[in-house]
Chains A and B, each alone.
Chain A
Amino acid sequence: MKYLKQLAIVLIVSLLAELMAYLIPLPVAASVYGLVLMLIGLITHIIPLRLVEDVGDFLVENMGIMFVPPTVGIIACVDELKQMWIPLLVAGIFTTFLIMIITGLVTQALIKKTGGES
């Protein structure tokens, strides 16, 4: 009962998010609108935390398995991959390191500098 109600709320937010993605002509995914909607709901207490917490934590903790099908999907585009697999791997691996390091160092330096006051 408790879980069904929580799941229902999460699904309602997801549905509203899909509607937003359909109506707003930007290449922004429904899941991002949904995340923002849910966050606003929680901050304004329109959605009390206890009404989504259990199902929400379950979904977040088990998110990994949802990435298995898209990852396996790589084998379905082997032919298209042939034309540009080297730049794709360089972009996928090398740039990822670069972005991680730069974002981390810049954030860390800014936190030290601003000391958190604002």
Chain B
Amino acid sequence: MTFFINSVYFGMVLTFVAYEIGLFCKKKIRLAIVNPVVIASLIVGAVLVLGKIDYETYSESVQYITYFLTPATVCLAIPLYRQIHLLKKYPLAIMGGVFSGVLTAMVSIYFIALIFGLTHEQYITLLPKSITTAIGMGISEKMGGIVTLTVVAISVTGITGTLSAEFMLKLFRIKNPVAKGLAIGTCSHALGTTKAMEMGEVEGAMSSLAIVLTGILTVIGVSIFANFIG
């Protein structure tokens, strides 16, 4: 058993098999709530807990998978480039939409901090929760938040957005593909973008665009909102 756990391939095999199971479930059960990332994470988590395997051991083995997150995010420029005419057609709507989303994020976290009586440190931890992990970590670290918890908040946000997007957008009659994509990307970053890609190329491209715009606006937003709770 120790041999398996110590092999670099252990975590890789576990992750790939769990993800395949997740994809299989998604194909069999056509429900938005059945998401391969969530299923795979639950399977891997269960194996680690039941097998008493350290997260560090697992994380070291799968670092090669995580390494590809940057190149993959870079490649989000490709669907965005294919849909660049949309950005030229609706610049005002796109900027306005993302701006309102980022403002909503900041204001609602401010109220959560007031309601729960959060400390400055805890407040900063939550502020960058709707942006892609790497930027969120950077902001949290620089502004004095608890980085590991920011990562947890970002993951919870991403999963929530991914799982609820279809239902929420339908409920509020958001039908325009540009609006759908921007809404998903602004609230749930790259993880949500995987869902937007499934909906269509326009949705995926707009969601990728939202990651960039939300990231930049949040950097500015956090530096202003950070002062509101001392």
Bound: A51/B185 CA distance, A: 27
How many A-B contacts if CB must be within 8 Å?
Answer: 331
Bound: A101/B179 CA distance, A: 10
Cβ contact within 8 Å between A60 and B197: yes
Cβ contact within 8 Å between A103 and B183: yes
B202 at the interface (CB under 8 A from A): no
Cβ contact within 8 Å between B122 and A84: yes
A63 at the interface (CB under 8 A from B): yes
A4 at the interface (CB under 8 A from B): no
Cβ contact within 8 Å between A84 and B118: yes
Nearest CB of B to A91, in Å? 5
Interface residues on A, range: 35 or more
A19 at the interface (CB under 8 A from B): no
Cβ contact within 8 Å between B138 and A92: no
B7 at the interface (CB under 8 A from A): no
Q: Mark out the residues of chain B between 123 and 175 whose CB falls within 8 Å of any chain A CB in the assembled complex.
A: 125-126, 129-130, 132-135, 137-139, 141-143, 146, 148-149, 151-153, 155-161, 164-165, 168-169, 172, 174-175
Q: Mark out the residues of chain B between 74 and 123 whose CB falls within 8 Å of any chain A CB in the assembled complex.
A: 74-81, 84, 88-94, 96-98, 100-101, 104-105, 108-109, 112-113, 116, 118, 122
Which residues of A are found within 8 Å of B169, using beta-carbon distances? 100, 104
A86 at the interface (CB under 8 A from B): yes
Q: A99-B105, A104-B180 are in contact. Are A88 and B89 (CB under 8 A)?
A: no
Task: Report the nearest B residue to A88, measured CB to CB.
Answer: B153
Cβ contact within 8 Å between B188 and A35: no
Nearest CB of A to B168, in Å? 6
Number of B residues with CB within 8 Å of any CB on chain A = 115
Cβ 8 A contact of A102, one of B104, B118, B175, B193: B104
Residues of B within 8 A of A (CB): 11, 15-16, 18-19, 36-38, 40-41, 44-45, 48-49, 55-56, 58-59, 62-63, 65-66, 68-81, 84, 88-94, 96-98, 100-101, 104-105, 108-109, 112-113, 116, 118, 122, 125-126, 129-130, 132-135, 137-139, 141-143, 146, 148-149, 151-153, 155-161, 164-165, 168-169, 172, 174-176, 178-180, 182-184, 186-188, 190-191, 193-194, 197, 204, 208, 210-212, 215-216, 219
What are 30 A-B contacts with C-beta separation under 8 Å?
A13-B74, A27-B139, A27-B143, A28-B135, A31-B69, A37-B74, A38-B74, A39-B80, A39-B81, A42-B81, A52-B75, A56-B77, A59-B68, A59-B71, A60-B79, A60-B204, A64-B19, A81-B149, A87-B118, A88-B126, A91-B108, A93-B156, A96-B157, A96-B164, A96-B187, A97-B187, A100-B184, A107-B178, A107-B179, A111-B176
